[in-house]
Amino acid sequence: MGWHRVANAGDVAEGAVIEVEVGNQQVALYRVAGELFATDNICTHAFACLHEGYLEGHTIECPLHQGIFDIRSGEPLEGPVDEPLRTFPVKTEGDDVLIEI
């Protein structure tokens, strides 16, 4: 448990999602309306990488079966998903993006 530097602030553009890693943990890092969010990158339904999905507002659609999660809470919203994603606190320090895991 602790804060880990995962990216430069410029690595994630507005309205985009990228994959970052903390140890062997895959995390999806999003920027929406200027704010950064982090969730598990692996869908809770089956094995699919959410950073390859479709980000619309504060929702991410899984590329495999189109399950939809709220990236702020991790809650499943639609589709075959019923388990929430874990979410992680994010902060910036200068140009560094840090995630608490």
Positions that interact with ligand FES (CB under 6 A): 43, 45-46, 48, 62, 64-65, 67, 79-81
Which is nearer to ligand FES, 36 or 81 (by Cβ)?
81
Rounded Cα distance, 30 and 73, in Å: 13
Helix-, strand-, coil-residue percentages of the chain, each rounded to 5: 5, 50, 45
Which is nearer to ligand FES, 17 or 43 (by Cβ)?
43
Question: Shortest Cβ distance from residue 96 to ligand FES (Å)?
Answer: 30
